[in-house]
Every structure is written in structure tokens, then in C-alpha cells.
Chains A and B, each alone.
Chain A
Amino acid sequence: MVDKPQLNPETGSGLDDLRNAFEGRLLFSEADMEPFLIDWRRRYQGSALAVAQPASVDDVVKVVRWCVKNDFYIVPQGGNTGMSGAATPDNGERNIVLSLARINQVRAVDTVNNTITVDAGCTLAQVRQAAEQAGRLFPLSLPSEGSCTIGGNLSTNAGGCQVLRYGNARELCLGLEVVTAAGELWQGLRGLRKDNTGYDLRDLYIGSEGTLGVITAATLKLYPQPAARMTALATVDSPHAALELLGLAQQQLSASLTAFELISDVCLELVAEHFPQCPKPFEDASPYYVLLECSDAESQAHATECFEALLFEASDKGLISDAIIADSIARSNSLWALRENISEAQAAAGKNIKHDISVPISAIGDFVVQTEKQLLSQFPGVRMVVFGHLGDGNLHYNVSPAADLSGAEHADAFVGLQSQINKVTHDAVAAVNGSISAEHGLGVLRRDEAARYKSPVELALMRSVKQALDPHGRMNPGKVLPD
């Protein structure tokens, strides 16, 4: 092993070799590095010798080669908005954080091929805006889109609220440019819908959370801008009724159904309590609500007609008891605000135990009812904060302490229950062949838990992929696969 350079954090001396190796910025003082060494939810804190901010792809190659030569570990980072701690270095002494944020140009828009090619450090909002200026839609949309980067979206295979119609990040990506763990540049920026020429390297790098290489650019799919969008919030009695509504909506709206979100009443109570500008929209509470969105290719009038027809029929069939249709963008935004403020409202209400699960859509109804029963019998009084992308079979199934035990003095006792509550929930997920991480990824948060549910065969295959693409374990150590 090469000796670790002795660093003087005041002057950066000792890092001269790395600093001279590339043109971009190098941060090494404690204050400059601080935001890169902790995740945004402030749960994971790591250490690094320096943070490299390359100014070009060539720079990325140079930094990676420097790390190879001097035996350093590389932790790629985008907007640092991840949910599972995958972008935060561990506590090792030989980490270099590789921040892609300064490589952020839109390289090309092709409105005939319907593709956009962008640097990995472009924010999601920037890509959506560039697409819109070209009269197209880039459909990936996340609450963090102002900060999160495309590189991060792809390496975590981000989901969001429109997966139902357009798929997750993987399905929106046609080509990648990657700097490998050995510091080679793989030029795979192909804008092809069809390309059966052997193993799909692109799909290996997508979702690998920076453990196989560094994504530096991507060619992404574009779609036509819809002529009109409609949003509605409907009241349903149970997840089962919501599933029936989903079936009806898919049948009637077909591809124009772009979002179908389930929200439990507990969620809206929390939002109303912590966001006074978002009161509960119905006078009478309902156990569950569904937020639907349709994107119509024809016109506002057509969208209104189809959407109203769907809701009238759902009402006739007794699936929904009431609904609001947003007739302006401001109204539509306030319905979405109800959904998007749930996470923050929950954080403000105190400690809770989160699950990001997916199960076959047909199993959701029973899963919700039975898991609730099981958790309540073992942990009396706990409250289920259930919401999520019902149309994708993905629920954020979060558990809050009983109302009389929600004070800060009980927080530690509740967090102590985490592994037991995780186990009950995840066992129920595994029993219906579901996944314990639908869209947030493994990082370090779910790494060991995931390994528990994967078969030895699956884990061994994953390890051989890692071994083949990153034989020295240089890329993002400690993430995705347990040691």
C-alpha cells in the first residue's frame, strides 16, 4: 500500500500531487468539506482526505487514475440528496469524495430522436427545463429536483411520482458515459431504443450506487409535452377500494394516467398540523385518499371529460365517496403539496421508523391490513403512516410511536424497537415476494437487511459483478454489499 500523503489542512500541502493531477477544484479544509461528508438527513457522517470537484470528464479520469495509483477509495457524489447514505463516505482514512456537481452542461437535444444528452452533474430541474425549452417532456420528477443530479438519479435508479406511466430512471436512460474503477472511459452514449449487442453494461451501472464506476453523462429519453394535465383527490374506504379504482383508472385512461398515489388519513392529519397552509381538504375524514393525475395528449376539454367520466363511474360503483378536481394549476399544486409535505410533517412530528417497500400490486390490500394487525398486536398503539405510489406497488410504510409515547423522552425507546419493527414489516414483504427497497436504494441503511432476504446465489452473483468491474474494491466501499 502506498503511504497516505501527510496533509496540512491549513495549506493543503501534501495534496499537491492530487491537486496538480487535474484542473478542477480540490477542497481539503474541514469547513469546505463538511457538507460533502454528511448526508442531508444528517444520519451518516464520514471522513475523506479531500473532495475533488472535476471540471471535465477528462478530469474525472485523472482523479480516478490518481486514486488507483495512490491506492485511495472513491466516493462519487451528486446533489447529496440520497435517502440511504450511499453518497456519504465511511470513516476510512483513504477516501476521496468525487463530486460531479461542476460537470453540468446539457450536451445535446435531439427532437427527432427524442433524446437529451447531459453531463452527470446537471440537476434534474435543469434537464426538465432544457427539455421543456425544446418543447419536450423529461418525465422524471422528484421533490428534490432542484438539487439532485442526473448522475445520482441514475446511480440510484430514482423513481418518483410518474413511474406508473414513464418508468423509473433506468427506463428513461438509453446510454451512459462511465469512468470505470480502473480510470478508463467507457463511451456508451448511444441514443438507441434497440441495441442487443451482448451484456447490458448500462443497466449494470444504473442502480449500482457508485459501487462499480462513475457515471459522467447520460443520453435520456424525451416525451411529447402533454396538452393538458388534471389532478384530483378522491376519498376511498380502504386500500382494496383504492386498488379497484386503480384498475378502473387504468382501463379508462390507459396511458394518460400518470400518477396514482395512496395517502392515509394519518398523513393528512400530520400535514395539516405542521403545515397550516395545507388544511385537510374534506370536512369528513376518510381512512384513505387517492391522488390521481392524468396527462392528456389532446386538450384540456378532453382531459376534463375523461377524468370526470372516470370519477363519476367510480362514484356510481361506490369506490369513492367524494373527490376534488383541481381546475387550476394553483389548485393542482396545493393537492400535490398535501402529498409532498408528508415526509417533512412526519419528521417534525418526531422519530419514526421508515420502510420503502414494494409488493405485487395485487398483494397490497392484504399486506396493509395484515401488517397493521401484526404490528399493533406486538407494539400496541403504534400508528401507521402509509402513503406512496400505489400504481407501482410501492408504499412508504412508516411507523410512528403511540400517541401517548410520542414525546421526545420516549424517542430512544422507540428507536430501540427499529430492528423488531423492520423485521415484522420486511418479513411480511418477503412473504409476498416483495422488495425491502423499492426506490431509495440500499446504501448503508438497508445493506445488511437486504442481504438477509437475498438468496446466497443472488448475493454471490452480485459479488462477482462487483469483483469483475471493481476488483480492488475501490468504488464507494461499504455500500450495497455487506463486507
Chain B
Amino acid sequence: MKILVAVKRVLDYNVKARVNSEGTGIDLANVKMSMNPFDEIAVEEALRIKEAGKADEVIAVSMGVSQSQETIRTALAMGADRGILVETDAELQPLAVAKLLAAIAAREEPGLVIVGKQAIDDDSNQTGQMFAALMDWPQATFASSVEIDGEQMKISREVDGGMESLSMSLPALITTDLRLNEPRYAKLPNIMKAKKKPLDVMSPEDLEVDISSRLKTLKVEEPEQRKAGEIVGSVAELVDKLKNEAKVI
């Protein structure tokens, strides 16, 4: 069985995002970019399934600008077998990503597709679900444990008020929750090996997928700054300010 894992290049989790001067998006010049943390968990899970002898190959797929190759190399250094980049400078919205992923799935015929439950840049939380719908596959979103047994798969997912257990047949889609696993570090020998692993680059046209955007971003702006606190001299002053300035009592 092949496992397809989607990995997205995003602004590093620890970098403070700043709106660009034109107010059209986030400033990405000279800032640290890393693999979406939920996708790291997806790669780790795929590798664990393969190491347990339940899959033969793990393919890391990314979409976007040419530098996304670095993100795929990270997945290869963790242990994925080969990579595919769908290269484009155009903005990719979840539906376009789901369609591209479906086109690749049609070629590769994986038994399992694992993606992060959301990317930490746009927080859409849509790609996995759209992909499953396009493929007409069963889906298990926000998985916190995965057990594969032949053609069947058992999934636990956290829901309000408890755990939900699902059972489904393969091929299927999983989106990962933070609790699923702790991703491994890429070690030197594997980083060296990753250099020689195959990485195919193709375009959306090669896959005959229309990636045009359905939504238009009008404007991006910073949230209003929190005002500095104030030390009051007495309870009476506090009450007065709450009543007359803050108007909350």
C-alpha cells in the first residue's frame, strides 16, 4: 500500500506574523518558513504505519512556490520515500489543493491519504474534507489514534464530551490532530539519504486541474492594539471608571 501525505510550507509557528505594507497579506520576505506542524504529524504517522509493515511507500506531496521543495526534503529526511511538487506561484485555495491532490491520488492510487487537519497560516480546515468528497472516500478527521488492520482502519477522534471511534474501509482519508503522535527529528544519515531521493516537479496544467480562486481577499489588517492598563488609587475611582469610562456597570 502507498500512503500519500500532503505537506505545506507555512510561516513558522514561532514567527510573529506581520501584515505587509500594501495590506494585502502577510509579509513573507526574509521570515522563517517551516512545515505546517499538523503535516509533520501526518508524515510521522505515515512513517509509523510503514515501519509497522502495513505500507510499502510514503509519498510526500506539496503544492506552491518552488521553495516548497525544502518542505518536501524535510519530509524525505524524516523518512518519506519520494516527493511530488505541484509548482505554481498562484494563490492556492483549499478547493484547488483538494483537486490537485485528487489528481495525484488518481495517478498514484494510494490506499491512504493523510493530511494535517488545518494549516496554521490560513486555518481553513477544508482540504481533507473536500478531497474525500471529490474521491468519494470515507474520511476520519481530527484523528488522535489510527489502527490499520488489512483493508480496515479504526480511528479515534476527540469530539465535544468524549472520544468517538470510527471504523472504515480503505482507501480513506485521515486528517491529523495534535495528539496523534510526536514527530521525529531528521537525523544526519537520513538528511544525506534524502538528497538522493526522487522529487518530481509538475504543474497544475500537467494535471489538468483548474486552480482559479473562488474567494478574493479584499484587505488584511492588524487587530487593534490592546490599550495599556491603568492603576487606580481607590475603589471609588475604580467604580467611577467602570461606570463612566468603560461603561460596563
- The one of B13, B30, B188 that contacts A315, using a Cβ cutoff of 8 Å: B188
- The one of B67, B186, B189 that contacts A327, using a Cβ cutoff of 8 Å: B186
Residue B226 interfacial (CB < 8 Å): no
Kindly list chain A residues whose C-beta atoms are within 8 Å of the C-beta of B67: 301
Whether the Cβ atoms of A329 and B12 lie closer than 8 Å is yes
Shortest CB distance B143–A (Å): 21
Interface of A is mostly: mixed
The count of residues in chain A whose C-beta lies closer than 8 Å to any C-beta of chain B is 26
Kindly list chain B residues whose C-beta atoms are within 8 Å of the C-beta of A234: 188
CA distance A327 to B70 in the complex (A): 10
Residue B33 interfacial (CB < 8 Å): yes
- The one of B35, B70, B187 that contacts A300, using a Cβ cutoff of 8 Å: B70
Interface residues in A295-346 (C-beta closer than 8 Å to B): 299-301, 304, 308, 311-312, 315, 320, 322-331, 333
Q: Which residue of A lies closest to B185 (CB)?
A: A324
CA distance A67 to B192 in the complex (A): 66
Residue B83 interfacial (CB < 8 Å): no
Whether the Cβ atoms of A308 and B191 lie closer than 8 Å is yes
Whether the Cβ atoms of A328 and B192 lie closer than 8 Å is no
- The one of A304, A311, A322, A329 that contacts B13, using a Cβ cutoff of 8 Å: A329
Q: Which residue of A lies closest to B194 (CB)?
A: A308
CA distance A300 to B29 in the complex (A): 11
- The one of A300, A311, A326, A330 that contacts B188, using a Cβ cutoff of 8 Å: A311
- The one of A320, A323, A329 that contacts B32, using a Cβ cutoff of 8 Å: A329
CA distance A300 to B30 in the complex (A): 8
Kindly list chain B residues whose C-beta atoms are within 8 Å of the C-beta of A312: 188, 192
Q: Which residue of A lies closest to B195 (CB)?
A: A308
- The one of A228, A308, A327 that contacts B35, using a Cβ cutoff of 8 Å: A327
Shortest CB distance B231–A (Å): 14
Q: Which of A227, A326, A327 has the most CB of B within 10 A?
A: A327
Kindly list chain A residues whose C-beta atoms are within 8 Å of the C-beta of B13: 328-330
Residue A281 interfacial (CB < 8 Å): yes
Kindly list chain A residues whose C-beta atoms are within 8 Å of the C-beta of B35: 327-328
Shortest CB distance A179–B (Å): 30
Residue B169 interfacial (CB < 8 Å): no
Shortest CB distance A325–B (Å): 6
Interface of B is mostly: mixed
Known interface pairs A228-B32, A301-B67. Does A324 touch B188 (Cβ–Cβ under 8 Å)?
Answer: yes
Interface residues in B62-113 (C-beta closer than 8 Å to A): 67, 70, 74, 77
- The one of A281, A327, A329 that contacts B15, using a Cβ cutoff of 8 Å: A329
CA distance A328 to B186 in the complex (A): 11
Whether the Cβ atoms of A301 and B34 lie closer than 8 Å is no
CA distance A308 to B187 in the complex (A): 11
Kindly list chain A residues whose C-beta atoms are within 8 Å of the C-beta of B30: 227, 299
Residue B128 interfacial (CB < 8 Å): no
Q: Which residue of A lies closest to B71 (CB)?
A: A327
Interface residues in B8-24 (C-beta closer than 8 Å to A): 12-15
Kindly list chain B residues whose C-beta atoms are within 8 Å of the C-beta of A308: 191
Interface residues in A225-252 (C-beta closer than 8 Å to B): 227-229, 234
**Contact-residue size bin, chain B (C-beta under 8 Å from the other chain):** 20 to 34
Q: Which residue of A lies closest to B14 (CB)?
A: A329
CA distance A315 to B189 in the complex (A): 9
Whether the Cβ atoms of B70 and A304 lie closer than 8 Å is yes
Residue B171 interfacial (CB < 8 Å): no
Kindly list chain A residues whose C-beta atoms are within 8 Å of the C-beta of B37: 328, 330
Known interface pairs A301-B70, A329-B13. Does A322 touch B191 (Cβ–Cβ under 8 Å)?
Answer: no
Known interface pairs A300-B33, A328-B13, A329-B12. Does A322 touch B70 (Cβ–Cβ under 8 Å)?
Answer: no
Q: Which of A228, A299, A311, A325 has the most CB of B within 10 A?
A: A325
Whether the Cβ atoms of B187 and A324 lie closer than 8 Å is yes
Whether the Cβ atoms of A327 and B74 lie closer than 8 Å is yes
Shortest CB distance A203–B (Å): 36
- The one of A227, A299, A323, A328 that contacts B12, using a Cβ cutoff of 8 Å: A328
Shortest CB distance A307–B (Å): 10
Whether the Cβ atoms of B34 and A327 lie closer than 8 Å is yes
B-contact 0/1 string along A406-441, CB 8 Å cutoff:
000000000000000000000000000000000000
Whether the Cβ atoms of A300 and B32 lie closer than 8 Å is yes
CA distance A326 to B185 in the complex (A): 7
- The one of A227, A322, A324, A328 that contacts B34, using a Cβ cutoff of 8 Å: A328
Q: Which residue of B lies closest to A234 (CB)?
A: B188
Q: Which residue of A lies closest to B15 (CB)?
A: A329
A-contact 0/1 string along B27-63, CB 8 Å cutoff:
0001011110100000000000000000000000000
Q: Which of B15, B32, B74, B189 has the most CB of A within 10 A?
A: B32
Whether the Cβ atoms of B192 and A323 lie closer than 8 Å is no
Shortest CB distance A463–B (Å): 48
CA distance A328 to B15 in the complex (A): 10
Q: Which of B30, B70, B185, B188 has the most CB of A within 10 A?
A: B188
A-contact 0/1 string along B189-215, CB 8 Å cutoff:
101100000000000000000000000
CA distance A221 to B164 in the complex (A): 58
Kindly list chain B residues whose C-beta atoms are within 8 Å of the C-beta of A320: 188
Q: Which residue of B lies closest to A228 (CB)?
A: B32
CA distance A282 to B184 in the complex (A): 10
- The one of B34, B70, B74, B188 that contacts A329, using a Cβ cutoff of 8 Å: B34
Q: Which residue of B lies closest to A326 (CB)?
A: B185
Interface residues in B155-197 (C-beta closer than 8 Å to A): 185-189, 191-192
- The one of A281, A322, A331 that contacts B189, using a Cβ cutoff of 8 Å: A322
CA distance A234 to B187 in the complex (A): 9
- Given A315-B188, A330-B12, output 20 extra A-B contacts at Cβ < 8 Å: A229-B32, A234-B188, A281-B185, A282-B187, A301-B67, A311-B191, A322-B187, A323-B188, A324-B185, A325-B186, A325-B188, A325-B191, A327-B186, A328-B12, A328-B14, A329-B12, A329-B13, A330-B14, A330-B34, A333-B14
Binding site for A on B (CB under 8 A): 12-15, 30, 32-35, 37, 67, 70, 74, 77, 185-189, 191-192
Of the A-B pairs whose beta carbons lie under 8 Å apart in the complex, a sample of 5, sorted by A's number, is: A312-B188, A322-B187, A328-B14, A328-B37, A333-B14
The 5 A-B pairs of least Cβ separation, nearest first, read: A329-B14, A328-B34, A323-B188, A324-B185, A329-B12
